[in-house]
Chains A and B, each alone.
Chain A
Amino acid sequence: MIYDIIIIGAGPAGLTASIYASRYKLSNLAIGKLIGGTITYAHKVENFPGVPSISGTELGQKMAQQAKELGAEILIDGVKEIQKKEIFKVITESGKEFSARTIIITTGTERRKLNIPGEKEYLGKGVSYCTTCDAPFFKDKAVILVGGSNAACSGALHLADYAKKVFLIYRKNELRAEPVWVEEVKNNPKIEIVYATNLTEILGEGQKVVGVKLDVPYNGSELLKADGVFIEAGGIPASQLIKSLGITVNENDYIKVDERMRTNIEGIFAAGDVTTGCLVLSQAITASAHGAVASNSVFEYLKSKEK
């Protein structure tokens, strides 16, 4: 079978693209490693219209459910290669092959690492990239959260529900999260914000994290004791896959798209966090919106090809 669209990625952008595609009667297959994508890591989403408060995982599952009910096929797998011939051929990491007339890339971002000593060594032993998963393990402990985004602030608040102390360490002088989050963080007696500071090393005693080294002394010391280090330092675009296709990316490897979510390659569209389109605001709602635009563009494109 030749699909009208293969969507690569199954976060808000990809799942919304699928929902719209199905309603345009376009056959579609979404292939993603993590159904729900990055939003899965959000413990609470309170800015998605129509859904006053929901966990990120549940929001992702609801999107996937809706996509499936409308006729999408969803495959949990990674994509290894896209080949462009008359039609597109997609090869997955588990060795499956699929064909499609068009491609929408919605691979999102991978978590940015700090790339400092101790980060890799103490992964799972105090170093974590998921506050929703791991906050409960730090009951009455002191923890550090690195970052200043919405995800960082909501993560710090979630940590403060368990930990006795949360140091929110950010490299800039002002948090970049929405004012609602910033206000909540500032009003939380357990959270202390440390501005204009970076971690240079994560220290441990073999089995677990005991603290960090800072580039700027805090309270007179470069060493800060903590039992956990949570990293919410944003993402880097997962755009490795498409490089061999010659898709144009910006200087930071985000896929360049126009207002119709077209890439420079005919038949390949892109949406969500992996594109330049979401650089202004990387949120589930913007990713979804661009996913919808991408499917509309595919619809128009395929119609124009039939003429």
Chain B
Amino acid sequence: MEIIFTDQNFEAEVLKNDLPVLVDFFAIWCGPCQMMAPAIEELSKQLDGKIKVGKLNVDENPICAQKYGIMSIPTLILFKDGQVNKTLFGFKNKDEILKEIQS
């Protein structure tokens, strides 16, 4: 299941998660983010038990957005053991995301 990350739960859900976590930094005003949302939802199901997948609204969660220097959305960040492992910028389809995070 897709998780909603916030400034409040970020440490527990992302940084201290035993699994790798893929965070979709998005905002409602961003068209390409909206178009990418279904892919993120599908990935959350497909990767269940392997990688946690969820999204973070940069408008409502400025602390995280600022901490990770988000200046462009959609941005996807893969966290492993609390560290940034991979960052992907811009609209991508499901297969492109899968290929990037599994390589």
- Which residues in A have some Cβ–Cβ distance to B below 8 Å? 33-36, 40-41, 55-57, 60, 76-78, 93-94, 123-130, 132-134, 136-138, 207-208, 228
Contacts and interface: CB of A to CB of B under 8 A. Distances in A.
A9 B90 CA distance: 19
A128 B72 CA distance: 7
A124 B91 CA distance: 12
18 contacts: A33-B93, A34-B35, A40-B31, A41-B32, A57-B31, A57-B32, A60-B31, A76-B93, A76-B94, A93-B95, A124-B87, A125-B69, A125-B72, A130-B30, A136-B59, A137-B71, A137-B72, A208-B71
A56 B35 CA distance: 12
A273 to B, nearest CB: 17
B61 interface: no
B54 interface: no
Interface string B53-95: 0000001000000000111111100000000000101110111
Contacts of A126: 71
Contacts of A41: 31-32
Contacts of A130: 30, 32, 72, 90
Interface residues of B, number: 25
Interface of B: 27, 29-35, 38-39, 59, 69-75, 87, 89-91, 93-95
A275 B32 CA distance: 24
A132 B34 CA distance: 12
B27 A136 contact: yes
A137 B32 CA distance: 16
Given A34-B91, A94-B95, A56 B71 contact: no
Contacts of B33: 133
B72 A124 contact: yes
A128 B93 CA distance: 19
Given A76-B39, A124-B72, A125-B69, A55 B94 contact: no
Nearest to A227: B71
Nearest to B88: A124
Given A76-B38, A77-B95, A134 B72 contact: yes
B63 to A, nearest CB: 15
A130 B91 CA distance: 10
